Structure formats: structure tokens, C-alpha cells
Amino acid sequence: MFERLERINTRPEPFEFYTAADLWTDEHTSGQMLRLHLNPEIDVSSRNINFIDRSVDWIASRFNIGAGKKIADFGCGPGLYATRLARRHADVTGIDFSKRSIRYAQETADRESLPIHYINRNYLDFETNGRFHLILMIMCDFCALSPAQRRKILSRFHQLLEPSGFVLLDVYSLTAFSEREEKSQYEAGFLNGFWSPNKHYVFLNTFKYEKEKVVLDKYTIIEKKRSRTIYNWLQYFSPEGLEREFKENGFAIEDYYLDVAGTPFSSHGREFAVVAKKL
């Protein structure tokens, strides 16, 4: 038992383990994630519905969205952005890891006769001969990727964009990083049964990596018949650090905002968004 507790409380190297598939493809947790996506009043898996409506209005204005505009939504979830942009006659492709979310998104598109192209795939492996005017990665998905994965996805974005195409994404800031604290927590049925429908116990270890500006929430879920560990990594950024990563992959940052609804940038915000242009 002591050795097992030692393993549970061990601090891994930054991004040493990657378990996104376990979160998004597990039958129970993918259903929980979809439920959070579709709650119109909270900012958990998706922004609240009022913010999404404002965000889409701003995106449509900022990027002149309309017929003929080709958009790729990386991490589209249940299509909350893709649906609204397709209603404005954009040609939208949505890519997401979760089969359950894609199924919901496709059913919505079918009901409204929206010709959205949904793809159930890890977006790190997405390839197509198509090219896009705008690529979206919203809800700080970029922060969950390791440095190597970020280089890969930015290189892919550059390849997939039309000349002078744009990327819009948001990230957590160093202000948010400063607010995080290391902790250890143990609870039966943690988060109201989010992790399993069966009786279970959860250890949460939060590790903070000062040099790398990374935080890990490490969840160890113990059930009667199985145990598993979920590693939720988050990279936090300064504007200069994010600009450097884009520049190294053939982009120029055109604008900074507080969020993906076009709110003016503040250095004190917990998040910020960027519009990057392909060079």
C-alpha cells in the first residue's frame, strides 16, 4: 500500500504522460463532458451560451464570415461554434476526439440541413487536401498540448491554411498560473461521480512547474475492478512566449485580445486570445 501511495504522489516530468484519449473516449467520462458542454450557463467544457453568441458575432465580423469562407474548428466538441458559423453560410469542418460529441454535432447539423463536415479524430493526426481561410482552436485547447505537440499542430495549421489565412486561439496567462497552488486531495466519488458510475475513490495531485509555467492535475481513479490515472496538463503563456512559438512556425501575431469575443487585451487577464496570420 505504501508503494502504491508513493506512485500516486509522484511528480512526473512535464508532459511525460498524455492521456487525452482516456478522457474523451471513455464511455462514462465522454458523456459527462458532453453534459458540461451543453449546459448553457457554465464555463467548463465550453463557454456559456451568451459568450458563444457574442464570440461568433465578433468572429463573423473580424474575419468577414460568409459564403465561400472555409473554416476548420479544431476541438469542435458538439458543434457549438461550427453550427453558428455554418448558419452564416461558412463552409465548416469540425474535428474532435469524442465520438459522442461528434455524433451530437452531426445530428444537430442534419436537423438544420447544415452541410458541416465533422471528423471524429485526434486533431493532432488530422490531414486533408482541403485548405482553410480560418482555423479555430477555442477553450484553451492549445494549453493542453506539449511543446512537441504544439510545434506539430502549428506546422499543420500553416500547411492547411490558404495564403494569408488566420488562426484564432485562446490560452491561459501567467496571471492564471500565479493563482494556481500545489495540493493533494482525496475523496470518494470525486466531482459528483464524474469519473465513474460505480463506487470509486479519487486522488487529485496538483503539481506546479515554475520554470516551465506548467500545471498538472493528476487524477488517480480507483475502482473495485480497475485503476487508472488521468494527466490534465496545462501550459500557461506570456504574450511574448506565445508569439515566439507562432513566429517559429511561419506566423505573425496580428492582434491580441482578452478573449475570443474581441474584448480588448489586458495584461491582468487570466486568459488571452491571439489572431495569427500565415506568412
Contact present, 233 and 209 (Cβ < 8 Å): no
Q: Tens-of-pLDDT digits for all 279 residues of the chain?
A: 888 889 999 999 999 999 987 877 788 887 777 677 677 676 666 788 899 999 999 999 999 999 999 999 999 999 999 999 999 999 999 999 999 999 999 999 999 999 999 999 999 999 999 999 999 999 999 999 999 999 999 999 999 999 999 999 999 999 999 999 999 999 998 888 888 999 999 999 999 999 999 999 999 999 999 999 999 999 999 999 999 999 999 999 999 999 999 999 999 999 999 999 999
CA distance 41 to 73: 22
Strand-pair partners of 187: 202
Residue found by looking up cell 484564432 in the block: 168
- Taking each helix axis from N to C end, the angle separating 49-62 and 80-87, rounded to the nearest 10 degrees, works out to 50
**Domain identity same for 164 and 112:** yes
Considering the domain architecture, whether residues 164 and 211 belong to the same structural domain is answered as no
Residue 36 falls within a domain, yes or no?
Answer: no
Cα distance between residue 200 and residue 223, in whole Å = 5
SS3 content of the chain, % helix, strand, coil (to 5): 35, 30, 35
Give residues with Cβ within 8 angstroms of 175, minimum separation 6: 267, 268, 269, 270
Q: Of 234, 252, 268, which closes a domain? A: 234
Would 37 be classed as within a structural domain? no
Alpha helical stretches, state H, the chain: 2-8, 20-25, 27-37, 49-62, 80-87, 99-112, 147-160, 174-179, 190-193, 239-248
CA distance 70 to 117: 11
pTM for this model (two decimals): 0.94
C-beta of residue 174 within 8 angstroms of C-beta of residue 236: yes
pLDDT of 109 reads 97
Number of structural domains found in the chain = 2
- Same domain, residue pair 243 and 110: yes
Q: What domain range includes position 150?
A: 42-173+237-278
Q: C-alpha grid cell for residue 82? A: 461550427
Give the separation between CA 141 and CA 74, rounded to whole angstroms. Answer: 9
- Decide: 61 and 85 in contact? Cβ < 8 Å: no
Residues 76 and 103 in one domain: yes
Q: What per-residue confidence (pLDDT) applies to 30?
A: 77
Strands 91-96 and 70-74 come out as: parallel
Q: The C-alpha cell of 150 is what?
A: 504544439
Is residue 208 in a domain?
Answer: yes
Q: Are residues 89 and 113 in the same domain?
A: yes
Q: How many residues does the chain have?
A: 279
Q: Are 257 and 139 found together in one domain?
A: yes
